[in-house]
Structure 1
Amino acid sequence: FACGLWAGAGWHRRYRPFVDAFCVELQGRGHLSSALVLRWFQGHLQRCLGAVRYRLQERCRISLSVCAGRPPTLHIVPCSDYVCCHISMAVRLIPAIPLGDALYLTALPPEGPLEPLATETLWDLNTSRQEQRLLNWLKEQTPASSCHLKCLQILKGLRDLRGMGLEEPFCSQWGQVLSSYVLKTALFSLLLQVPLEAWDERFLVERLEDLVLYLRDCLRKQMLMHFFLGNTSLPEAVVLPRFLKEAAPVNLLANFDRHTLDLTAFQLISTWIQAPHVIRMYSSPRYLRP
């Protein structure tokens, strides 16, 4: 999504510091730049980090991982003598603009090849609240031992393991095409096509294969539609804001060329066929990351 600025006469002069710091011009119109907002956000986080460390130094060690063009990650490691909790955490910090109805525009870089200036102006639509509503509904409708979330976890794991053995530039393309959001969207779409009782854990392998084949078909057709934008097939129990219901459908694979998608589909099926070998090979100590 692009966040265009509708400004009256004199607005740019009156708010010149804001315009210079956060806006870019695209097709003759001012847009709020996700890249500039993210850069500003990272700078403020780094300046505040010292104060946070000082207040929590007896409880945990805090560090910030910053990569240009990507949201920063806050790492929290409890001190060994702090008995309350010994769980380390990594929290991705993402600036967001509230739209109302639990919808947010977030400064996440878009997946797929785009012009640099276009990338700077694009914002991601966060529908996590709607996803949670869907998951709550599925929890009520599926068997108690449903395997749908486990299927998603396994597929993500296979994607990551296969990615270790790929060379650039396809390694990056593999991760972009099969992003976690794409995998999740494929799962949600398949869940509404297969009888919900068929997701019992007894059928884990069958449902996982269904998910792989469904995703392969989407890649071959170059089409996987956003699950919430303009989707008229959602269960009535999953209430959507008007903005989502009336939005035009969006193809999540539209920015990728046919060759990349065909190659990804081929590698996906190859990974599924060789899954036991891939898991054994890349789970060895040689490939385990610290």
Structure 2
Amino acid sequence: SNEEDASEEEDNNENWSDDSRKLSNRILWPMKTLARRSRVVEQLVAELLQVCQKRLSKSFFPELQPAIGVGSAFEGWGPDEEEADYYMLMPLKPPRGHSFHLELGDMGYMLARDSRIRVETQCTCTEKDILCFVHTSEDELWENQDPSLLHTMCTNSYLDAEKIALWFQDLVKSVWAAVPQSHHYSLKVLPSCWFCRMWLTPVSGRTLSVVIMFGVQQDNSDIYLSTMPVNTLDPSTTWPQTCVVAEAKFFRFVAQNTQPGSVHLKCLYLCTSILEGTTISATTMKRVVMHYLHQSWLQKDMAIWSKRDFVKLLQDILSFLLCCLEINRMDHFFMGNDSLPEEIILPPDFRTGEKVNVFQRLQEHPHAHASALSAICEL
């Protein structure tokens, strides 16, 4: 396809040095495989969702919305396409007669981790085919209508992530036979208290590991309260804030605004691979490349990603990271950033708030700081 051709443009760019060509041609890049498998996963999950929605059409369980591909595999730079997990965030909306109220936790110096989602019943006296949960007696509700979300998926009136995950796992297993492509794939649902991990194995081919996590949208933005990242010590009514949808949208924006042959994904893939096993995580490296891409866009110079020498770009990215480590500061990409493309929709307090230093913890852990500096200096 054109998308794959663009991501796998001929490496022998006339502006590249011999070293850049040799380096690029020696590496087995994952972009084509990730793009192809991502499309397969999207289609399978879309079919699964349609069957689930049909099953739940008259229920009072959460309304499942189209899943959004997020993370390194869908963004196109996953470190190992053979072992990749294909993460998708499935937004939830309240069923009829219910409403969600997001209670954000303490933002601190990072995203709010201890947020909760309060569920309330709403008056539906004017609607047909539903008894009002607010103004109908409990006995009548018990005899004539399925229980409300408060009685099935909540703990003390708050949406319970563990109950959601276990319910969805059971739902997937019960409807899989009705999915159009089910006869092409064997399904194994792995137990989890926070998400739904599915192993989909085709008749011939490699198993796809698909992880469905759940989220509730904040203020019609690209920020969600989600069941991940997981802290097993948190109560199951905890829904941490996450930027994964905003990050995926940013990478799609970059893909639409770079020229054919852009190597930004190759740079990110190679940097994360080189630094694997060091104190510099793939998440940190991703933030560095996102900042560099953002600066290129602000300076109207996105062409550098397809014209500048490959090795030179790698050196520039690692030099930027070294600078950040030396001054112990790198700003959070979304919080306090008022110059992002308008396609990225953020809550008002994100754009207007103060900048947040994601390297703040390094100041509190000198050994980790020294180890990170050492890893970059060795390169």
Pairwise TM-score range, normalised by the shorter structure = 0.5 to 0.7
Name the structure 1 match of 2:167: 44
* Residues 178, 55 of structure 1: alpha-carbon distance in 2 compared, 3 angstrom cutoff: same
Structure with max Cα Rg? 2
Q: RMSD over aligned Cα, in angstroms?
A: 3.9
* Residues 227, 246 of structure 1: alpha-carbon distance in 2 compared, 3 angstrom cutoff: same
Alignment of 1:109 with 2:229, yes or no, is: yes
Aligned residue type for 1:95: F
Name the structure 1 match of 2:243: 126
Alignment of 1:61-210 (within 5 A): 61-66=186-191, 71-80=195-204, 88-99=207-218, 100-109=220-229, 116-117=233-234, 121=238, 123-129=240-246, 131-132=248-249, 134-139=250-255, 141-160=257-276, 163=277, 174=279, 178-180=281-283, 182-194=284-296, 195-200=301-306, 203-210=309-316
Contact 2:217 2:225 in 1 (8 A): yes
In structure 2, the residue corresponding to 1:200 is in which secondary structure? helix
Q: Deviations over 1:1-59 (max 9, x none)?
A: 13257899xxxxxx9x6799546xxxxxx9x68xx51x223322332343244446532
Contact 1:109 1:119 in 2 (8 A): no
CA distance in 2, matches of 1:265, 1:72: 37
Aligned residue type for 1:62: L
Name the structure 1 match of 2:371: 263
In structure 2, the residue corresponding to 1:224 is in which secondary structure? coil
CA distance in 2, matches of 1:19, 1:221: 50
Higher relative contact order, structure no. (Cα contacts within 8 Å, ≥ 6 residues apart): 2
Contact 2:153 2:164 in 1 (8 A): no
Greater Cα shift, 247-256 or 115-124: 115-124
Name the structure 2 match of 1:216: 322
* Residues 140, 116 of structure 1: alpha-carbon distance in 2 compared, 3 angstrom cutoff: closer
Q: Deviations over 1:176-223 (max 9, x none)?
A: x5143x322211211234543322255111111221222233234332
CA distance in 2, matches of 1:247, 1:266: 33
In structure 1, the residue corresponding to 2:373 is in which secondary structure? helix
Name the structure 1 match of 2:48: none
CA distance in 2, matches of 1:252, 1:227: 9
Contact 2:153 2:163 in 1 (8 A): no
Give 1 or 2: higher helix fraction: 1
How far residue 117 of structure 1 moved from its aligned partner, in angstroms, is: 4.9
CA distance in 1, matches of 2:236, 2:359: 16
Aligned residue type for 1:189: H
In structure 2, the residue corresponding to 1:151 is in which secondary structure? helix
Q: Under a length normalisation based on structure 2, what TM-score does the superposition of the two structures give?
A: 0.50
* Residues 143, 49 of structure 1: alpha-carbon distance in 2 compared, 3 angstrom cutoff: closer
CA distance in 2, matches of 1:115, 1:233: 35
In structure 2, the residue corresponding to 1:63 is in which secondary structure? strand
Contact 2:115 2:240 in 1 (8 A): yes
* Residues 119, 265 of structure 1: alpha-carbon distance in 2 compared, 3 angstrom cutoff: farther
How far residue 263 of structure 1 moved from its aligned partner, in angstroms, is: 0.9
Name the structure 2 match of 1:279: none
* Residues 255, 73 of structure 1: alpha-carbon distance in 2 compared, 3 angstrom cutoff: farther
Name the structure 2 match of 1:3: 115
In structure 2, the residue corresponding to 1:73 is in which secondary structure? strand
Question: How many residue pairs align between the two structures?
Answer: 231
In structure 1, the residue corresponding to 2:189 is in which secondary structure? strand
* Residues 52, 254 of structure 1: alpha-carbon distance in 2 compared, 3 angstrom cutoff: farther
Alignment of 1:228 with 2:334, yes or no, is: yes
Aligned residue type for 1:46: Q
How far residue 152 of structure 1 moved from its aligned partner, in angstroms, is: 1.0
Q: Which runs of 5+ in 2 are unaligned?
A: 1-111, 121-147
Contact 1:220 1:262 in 2 (8 A): no
Aligned residue type for 2:229: P
Q: Under a length normalisation based on structure 1, what TM-score does the superposition of the two structures give?
A: 0.63
CA distance in 2, matches of 1:266, 1:129: 32
In structure 1, the residue corresponding to 2:201 is in which secondary structure? strand
